[in-house]
Amino acid sequence: MVYKAVVIGTSTGGMAALGEVLHALPRNFPLPILIVQHISSRSDGFIVRYLNELSAIRVKEADEKEQIEAGCAYISPPNYHMMLDQDSCIALSVDSKVSYARPSIDVLFETAADVLREGLIGVILTGANSDGSKGIAAIKKRGGIAIVQDPATAEAEAMPGYAIKAAQVDYVLSLKNIGAKLIEIVGV
């Protein structure tokens, strides 16, 4: 199978969890990574700076109509939903909150699943609500791979727990093993 992108969703405890996952990935990681981290609408971009210091791949805030590229991680800007359009470009929206969140994990996962279908890998990390459970189910329905952080290793176990209940996920892994599993799946 040829995979085309990874989507990651997280909330409470997500900054540290993302740091661990991205730190494990090599500079030559061959896929783009799109990330929704629930953050304050007044965020100053610290998460991007923090993750860039830990990661061999480039981490940046997503821009409207930006073409996604391998080896780059795109973080949804504060107070914007991030979507993937039919041309595999990023689209940003200020539509209503979904699951009490903007950005919403479900919005990203569902739009990416519609475009990339079986070429998508979805990852749900720590978080304190159910956002992402519908999106991970959409990824599985369209033939993609679903990875969920083991709730026992999550700072907040609700989000991984809801994801496991919503879909027949492929892997439930401790946080320290998720980066290695992504490398194994894409064959780096």
Annotated active-site positions, please? Answer: 11, 38, 131
Rounded to an integer, what distance in angstroms lies between the CA atom of residue 144 and that of residue 137?
10
**CB contact burial 127-152 (16+ within 10 A = b; e otherwise):** bebbbbbbbbbbbbebebbbbbbbbe
Residues whose CB is less than 8 angstroms from the CB of residue 11 and which lie 6 or more positions away in sequence, other chains included: 37, 38, 101, 105, 126, 127, 128, 129, 131, 156, 159
